[in-house]
Structure 1
Amino acid sequence: MQLPLWKSILKRDENPITEISHFLRETAIFEGMSRRTLREVAS
Structure 2
Amino acid sequence: MGLWMPPRGEIHSSVLVAFGEVSTFAGALLGVDYKYRSGDKKQEG
- Please give the TM-score of this superposition, normalised by the length of structure 2: 0.30
Larger Rg computed on CA atoms:
2
Greater RCO, CA 8 A, separation 6+: 1
Q: Per residue, is there more helix in 1 or in 2?
A: 1
